[in-house]
Every structure is written in structure tokens, then in C-alpha cells.
Copies of this chain bind each other. A is one copy, B any other.
Amino acid sequence: MNIWFMTSLVILSLYGTFSLDNGLARTPPMGWMAWERFRCNIDCVNDPDNCIGEKLFMQIADHMSTDGFKDVGYEYVAIDDCWMSHQRDSNGKLYGNTTRFPSGIKRLADYVHSKGLKLGIYEDYGKLTCAGYPGSLDHLEVDAQTFADWGVDYLKFDGCYSNPKVMDTGYPQMTKALNKTGIPIVFSCSWPDYQRASGMKPNYTLIGDNCNLWRNFNDIQDSWDSVTSIIDYYAKEHDTLAAAQGPGKWNDPDMVIIGDFGLSYDQSKSQMAMWSIFASPLMMSNDLRSVSDEAKEILLNKEIIAVNQDALGVMGRQVYKTGAMEVWTKPLVNKSFATVFLNRNTNGMPRSISMTLKDMGYNTGVDHYTLRDVYLHKSLGNYGINDQFTATVNPTGVVMVTASISTT
């Protein structure tokens, strides 16, 4: 019996459980979340089709279940901020805005469940949510129980109107409150992002013990600049973040914006590839009622989703960078790998890069691999570990390959 296990037992005996024990998110959560695309649009009078209300979430659930998203693993339909009434009820409980959610959140959860999907919801550890709705401060247990009673499956717990210094104790209190309900609810924490933004160094061991996923960096916006700023942050902080991550606990670079207004086709392929190399949650924020066929094809790419959902759950790392060309490799089960060649240039022409598989980071002692282009759905043949592989990559685009042990 090692010291860690003994310590755990002591803590366990003192506090009941010392960490999140919901058994969820063994692979990165996949689904849809309202915020990036629909924000705090509460104007159902002038914009009835796009306001934050039950109709939107029901329509999204319909499309997720019928348009192929559910089939490839997208599961959560997640409400973000601005769903609540501005007051708690007479019992101190939260409830949905009655005009926009006339049927109530429980009924919405039932509807989402009837489609074979799961419901996500949003709250905030502070006094208020970011948009000024009631926060959970001093109401952690009642709110956790309310969500459990409604059948909520996923909670995004934001950190506005809160002091990042108290989060190391505050967020675990919510973990405990969620555990206490006995209902498994994926717990998404904004904790480290607020600490980073205030100059603190997040304690990822503690965060990983208490959350299924957590935001590390700025909110994503609908632009390539925003996507690349996140990629750059993950490159810079790789060692810390990779160590924190694994089945049940994930770094979250924020939503997937494919199908929105700001990314080109190539840039959309790049976000999907990089989020999969990171083993990041794939929570789309788009209008599933009208995403283009091009966007849908990227979002439904099973070969790339398989990389994202690989059971090892390892965050890929940047194995090479020169000029504006980056190469990222992620180890997969069975000594397989996935590699993304990302061309950050914007100067017109596709650019070629040649590397040996060894330099691509294929370091498990295997001599020969079969490579496959997961966007072209095409085998690229067999390569020895010291053979050069050449990728020709569009500006702001990617080439993404998987490598499995060669059987020939």
C-alpha cells in the first residue's frame, strides 16, 4: 500500500469522497453548446428562431439525432448562460425563464433524452453568472440537487463574479455537492482559466481530481486568429496540460466553431484536426439547422473522431516547428499514432514538408507503419521508421494522417 493510497483513504474517511466519482467522460465529451454561436440572445420577440429558449435546444436536439451527429458520438446538447429567471423561487431554487422555457428545464431534459441525447446546463460559482443571472455562491447543494432532479447530465460551471483565489476550495465544494446527489453529471470547470487570467498558476492535480473537463484559456471567438491563439497557448503550456489530462479529465480549449461565419474550409479542417490531436472535448457551437454540407462532412469525419476519442486520451505534442509549419503527433492505442501537419502561412501556395516517421515522434520501437490520410480517406502505403513522409499542406490548412503498425 503506497503513501498516496493511504493518504487517499484518510481523506476519503474524512470527507466521504475526495474527488469527482461519476465515472463519466472516459473519452472527451462530444456535443453542442449554445454560447459561441447564440450568445445571450434573449430577444424572442424579434428573433424567435435564434433566442435562448427551449425551442432552439429542441431543434438542435432534433438535428443532432437525425443528421448523423448522434451516430458518430455527439451526445450533449448544452445550454449556456442566460437560461434562468433573474430570481430564485421561494425555496431558493433556480428555474428557467418562464417565457423562453415555458415547459421548464425538466421537460426539456426529457425531450433531449427521448432523442437518445443528454442535456447540459450552465451555472457559475460566483455571486452572478457572467451575464448577470443568479450564481451558485451559497447555493451549491441546492443547485446541484436541482440539476440532478431535472435530469441534467452535464454542468458547465463558470467563474464570473468570483475570486480566483477561493476557487481551489470552492469548485471542489461543488464537486462534493454533485457527488452527493448520486446522479452522474459531467462537471466542466472554468476554474483554471480564471486563475490563469489573474496571474495564478492552476493546480491541475486538484483540478483533475474535481472536474471532468476544464477551460484553460480565453473564450473562443469566430475567427482563425482565435483558433490559432488557442493552439499557441496549448503549444506553450503543453507539458503542464498534457500531464493533467486523461480518461475522465480533459483540458478544454473551448467550442468547435466549424459551420459558423469566420473559418474557411481549410481553417475548419484545421480546427477539427487540432482539437482531435489535443484529445479535446468536441462541443460544437453552430447552427445545426443550417450548417453547410462542407462543414457537416468535417464534423462527421469518423476517422478524425476516432483519433479524438482514442482510449489512451493523450494530448498530442508539437514535434516540429519551423517558420510557419507545425507538426503535431498524438500516440494512440496499439502503438498507433496520428499526426497533423499545420501550415500557418497565408502566402498563397500549398507548402511541402518532408520528415522521417522517427522525427514525427513515432517512438514506440515499431519499425514499419501503414499511413492513412484521414481527410482523403485514403491509404498512403507503408513507411519504415526512417523513411521520409511528405505532406503538401494548404495555407492555414492541414494534412492529417494516422499510422498503424504495418502488417506487411
Q: How far is the CA of A394 from the CA of B261 in the complex (A)?
A: 7
Q: Is A226 an interface residue (CB 8 A)?
A: yes
Of A82-90, A111-119, A262-270, the stretch lying at the interface with chain B is: A262-270
User: Are B346 and A37 neighbours in the complex by a CB distance under 8 Å?
Assistant: no
Q: How far is the CA of A186 from the CA of B79 in the complex (A)?
A: 58
Interface centre among A221, A347, A349, A395 (most CB of B within 10 A): A349
**In chain B, what residue has the closest Cβ to A285?**
B348
Q: Could you tell me which residues of chain A, from 254 to 275, have a CB within 8 Å of some CB in chain B?
A: 260-267
**Nearest Cβ distance between residue A406 and chain B, in whole angstroms?**
27
Q: How far is the CA of A193 from the CA of B264 in the complex (A)?
A: 29
User: Are B266 and A264 neighbours in the complex by a CB distance under 8 Å?
Assistant: no
Q: Which of B50, B223, B397 contacts A346 (CB 8 A)?
A: B223
User: Are B261 and A396 neighbours in the complex by a CB distance under 8 Å?
Assistant: yes
User: Are B396 and A347 neighbours in the complex by a CB distance under 8 Å?
Assistant: no
User: Are A224 and B224 neighbours in the complex by a CB distance under 8 Å?
Assistant: yes
If the complex has contacts A285-B348, A348-B38, are A261 and B262 also in contact, measured as CB distance less than 8 A?
Answer: no
The secondary-structure label for the interface of chain A is loop
Q: How far is the CA of A321 from the CA of B262 in the complex (A)?
A: 21
User: Are A261 and B221 neighbours in the complex by a CB distance under 8 Å?
Assistant: no
User: Are A348 and B37 neighbours in the complex by a CB distance under 8 Å?
Assistant: yes
**Nearest Cβ distance between residue A122 and chain B, in whole angstroms?**
15
Q: How far is the CA of A123 from the CA of B163 in the complex (A)?
A: 63
Q: Is A239 an interface residue (CB 8 A)?
A: no
Q: Which residues of B contact A263 (CB under 8 A)?
A: 264
**In chain B, what residue has the closest Cβ to A394?**
B261
Q: List 29 A-B contacts (CB under 8 A).
A: A36-B348, A37-B348, A39-B347, A39-B348, A41-B349, A50-B349, A222-B346, A222-B347, A222-B348, A222-B396, A223-B224, A223-B346, A224-B262, A225-B225, A225-B346, A260-B395, A261-B266, A261-B394, A261-B395, A261-B396, A262-B264, A262-B266, A262-B267, A262-B346, A262-B396, A263-B264, A264-B267, A265-B292, A285-B348
* A residues at B contact (CB < 8 Å): 35-39, 41, 50, 221-226, 260-267, 285, 292, 346-349, 394-397
